[in-house]
Amino acid sequence: MNVLLDLDGTLADSRPGILACFRHMLTELGHDPAAAGDLTWAVGPPMAVSVGKMLALYGDDRVDLGLATYRARYTTTGIYECAAFTGVTEMLTALTEAGHTLCLATSKRRDFAERVVEYLGFSPFIPRVYGALPGGGLDEKKDLLAEILRVEGYDQAATIMVGDRYHDIHAAQANTLRSIGVLWGYGGETELTEAGADLLVAAPAEVVGLV
């Protein structure tokens, strides 16, 4: 089986670093981060989408500046403010030993994703890393999955998407793939159920028996 894995909220608890970068961005652009409330909703979707929605709360349309400000902190500091979720390394080990092919499919920029995969020690298990392109391109998860299927030549019937947010599930559906929604991430059971996830799992070990 070809297993496409989301990164933020699925393999990595990257919320601390990402939220710190969002707060930094808002402060630098002259806004009070506290006024935005809990920003967990912004972790996972394409960054331009999250930044745009966040700035709209303040009536601010400076998305490009917001992205640049966010990334200035993320690339040096925030990228390392993350950790593997409990049980994920064991899950990757078991999937690899069972002969499955693992591929990262993230909305995060590909160059950033490669650094996180290496930092968390996932590289031996996930040699294929796909993400958004610097400067734009493959920002939509459905387009990213289509690109993976095209480049890798994966059979849709033998490929499954594992993620924690609705856009992971919708992207799988758009490419006629089955999906597994993980409940330890940032989306939650209601979001994943409403999105139409084929299966839900409460712990990484459960993924191994379902692919």
- Catalytic machinery residues: 6
Euclidean distance between CA atoms 84 and 120, whole angstroms: 7
- Record the tokens describing residue 112, joined without a space: 């950033």
Please state the three-class secondary structure of 71-138 as a single string. HHHHCCCHHHCCEECCCHHHHHHHHHHCCCEEEEEEEEEHHHHHHHHHHCCCCCCCCEEEEECCCCCC
CA 161/CA 5 separation, integer angstroms: 6
> How many CA atoms within 13 Å lie on the side-chain side of 172?
30
Q: Please state whether 205 falls in left (phi above 0), alpha (psi between -120 and 50) or beta.
A: alpha
Gap between the Cα atoms of 121 and 12, Å rounded: 11
Question: Strand pairing partners for 59?
Answer: none
Nearest to 181 by CA among 9, 28, 59, 12: 9
Name, in order, each residue with C-beta under 8 angstroms of 92's C-beta and a sequence gap of 6 or more. Answer: 11, 102, 122, 125, 126
